[in-house]
Structure 1
Amino acid sequence: MTVNVLFAAHPDRWDTYQTPLQAAFTEAGINAHLSPDMAPDMVDYIIYAPNAPLQDFAPYARAKAVLNLWAGVEAVVDNRTLKIPLARMVDPGMTQSMTEWVVGHVMRYHLGFDRHIVNPDHLWEPHTPPLAAERNVCILGMGALGTSVAGSLRGLGFSVSGWSRRAKSVEGVTLHHGPDGLKTALSEAAIVILLLPDTAATENTLNAETLAHLPKGAFIINPGRGPLIDDAALLAALDSGHIAHATLDVFRIEPLPQDHPFWAHPGVTVTPHVAAETRPITASRVIAENIRRGEAGEPFLLLVDRSRGY
């Protein structure tokens, strides 16, 4: 039996994904007809990216699930025409690339690379950093990405703590949860990494009040979502010297407007949303496994909880 799969992502992604998806379907034993153009009443599954032209899911009454290509679902989760299951993407390739990017910037801050890379006055200022075990790194958001990052940082010897909205357990990581837990987690952090989803409950997780709980001279790394940080509050904390530096990969508006203060601020490193992206080969295997499950009558993986927004 043939399974009809609609590829509903931005048109320029079709050439990138067509071959990896077909290979993943074959590997999973799925006889699939994959196309970016298919009559709605023929579609069994929708592979989807929120920037696709498809925004009205009502005609797809036969479809069993929408399988998101992106880790974030904030742009589709509230779509009122979407009545069928929505699965988010947890891609091993993307997780690995995010981990590599974050660890790189943690080491940059930990070892103080910037003072030597940018040294126009040719200052000779020897400085030996503490050992990793003497510096606490706090991860806000302990999902698949946060857990992976925590494992790599622990492997390097860092003292790692984490915070999530609900209680969790991760081996070797001191975890906090809830509003009071956030204060405690931040108060101990030399470096903070934001890997939370973008929901109404996580917006402005770092604001004037919570930034004040960080020790003076703390560093911030945000490859998660732009709205997790109150931009004005961060700029004020940088200007006061309370926050030493922030590396930001995601923003409320992207591309970041040319006149945004982050570009010119000496305490901010702007990177153009490059920390991680979905990797076609590994993501295609995740998609294929969910379709295999759907056809076998097994529960889908990575289903979105609409009430929580992710």
Structure 2
Amino acid sequence: MALLFKSDVDRPDSWIPALRTALPGMEVRKWPEVGDPAEIDYALVWQPPEGFLASLPHLKAILSIGAGIDHLTRDPKLPRHLPLVRMVEPGLTSGMTEFVVMQSLFHHRRLLDYLDQQDRKVWRELAPVAAWQRRVGVMGLGELGADAVDRLVRLRFDVAGWSRSRRALPGAACFAGQEELPAFLARSDILVCLLPLTEETDSILNAQLFAQLPKGACVINVGRGEHLVEQDLLAALETGQIDSATLDVFRDEPLPPDSPFWSHPRVVVTPHIASMTIPETAAEAMAEAIRTLEAGGTPPGLVDLARGY
């Protein structure tokens, strides 16, 4: 059997040895050295060329290097009859939780205001708010969202979650469906977007949603750039409806040099690094997924294409 690794952003010098260690009985090939396409059984990929996966005649399954699958589903020639497995692994989850907690604390403790004071050489205390008085709302309660909720609860924030279908998470109020979205938004001083990108969630972070948040709320988008209507956020920042934002993902990546987000005083920009897969743990997770598929089982992260995640 052979596995093909393809990514232009991950580190093949770390991935290839890790995959060969986790899959000792499988040949591991690195794009673009595909060899005979008919010999490829599994493809572990990030942003493969359109139609490429359909050109592998004996492909058994597609494995996504990231937690998201929109980089695959936008391919009109995607072999939708094949199992598609998104990345579910401890390193990815831990990294995302670290980032969400860090940025939630950043906004909670008003670090943007203190950095502004530092620039102006102002020595002034700002009125504190206790963590249990700060309401954090997490949109998306899958593997990543649920873990972030757990850590935020441990920090004693007043946490709520919202998802398409009903979830129950210890210490957090859980909302579900469009009918409960307004109530969830109304109690979210800090809003974290960890939703998958689907037709229903595309452009969900828009003017109508921002208007339902408490005035002066903060927004943290670590989902996908397509979740956010960028001009609507800029307008909400201008009026003060949104106080500040952390944006890790954008519609155009890399973020164009002329984007107003680069220099906006109330926006933190990071280059899609909220969480990155760790080759050693991720390779083992993908190896286990392959072993499970070979045995006829259902691996963690198996995607339901009808739902989009």
Fold match by TM threshold 0.5? yes
Is 1:4 equivalent to 2:2 in the alignment? yes
Q: How far apart in 2 are the matches of 1:11 and 1:223?
A: 18
Residue 17 of structure 1 is matched in structure 2 by: 15
Q: How far apart in 1 are the matches of 2:137 and 2:211?
A: 15
Residue 197 of structure 1 is matched in structure 2 by: 196
Is 1:33 equivalent to 2:27 in the alignment? yes
Among candidates 100, 103, 106, match of residue 102 of structure 1? 100
For residues 1-310 of structure 1, the aligned pairs below 5 Å read 3-10=1-8, 13-26=11-24, 31-36=25-30, 37-50=34-47, 52-53=48-49, 55-79=51-75, 80-82=77-79, 83-119=81-117, 120-310=119-309
Q: How far apart in 2 are the matches of 1:277 and 1:48?
A: 14
Shift of 1:217: 0.9
SS of residue in 1 equivalent to 2:73? coil
Shift of 1:12: 7.0
Judged with a 3 Å threshold, the aligned counterparts in structure 2 of structure 1 residues 269 and 90 are, in CA distance, closer, same or farther, namely same
State the percentage of identical aligned residues.
39
Q: Deviations over 1:180-202 (max 9, x none)?
A: 21111110111000101112110
TM-score after normalising by structure 2: 0.92
Judged with a 3 Å threshold, the aligned counterparts in structure 2 of structure 1 residues 34 and 11 are, in CA distance, closer, same or farther, namely farther
Shift of 1:86: 1.0
Q: Deviations over 1:283-308 (max 9, x none)?
A: 10111001111222222331111122
Segments of 4+ moved more than 6 angstroms: none
Shift of 1:33: 1.4
Judged with a 3 Å threshold, the aligned counterparts in structure 2 of structure 1 residues 138 and 9 are, in CA distance, closer, same or farther, namely same
Judged with a 3 Å threshold, the aligned counterparts in structure 2 of structure 1 residues 172 and 11 are, in CA distance, closer, same or farther, namely closer
SS of residue in 2 equivalent to 1:58? helix
Give the alignment's Cα RMSD to 1 decimal.
Answer: 1.8
Letter in 2 for 1:61: P
Q: How far apart in 2 are the matches of 1:104 and 1:8?
A: 31
Aligned length: 303
SS of residue in 2 equivalent to 1:236? helix
Flag structure 1 segments of 5+ consecutive residues without an equivalent: none
TM-score after normalising by structure 1: 0.92
Greater shift, 31-40 or 100-109, is seen at: 31-40
Flag structure 2 segments of 5+ consecutive residues without an equivalent: none
Q: How far apart in 2 are the matches of 1:219 and 1:9?
A: 33
Decide whether the 8 Å contact of 1:10 with 1:53 is kept in 2.
no
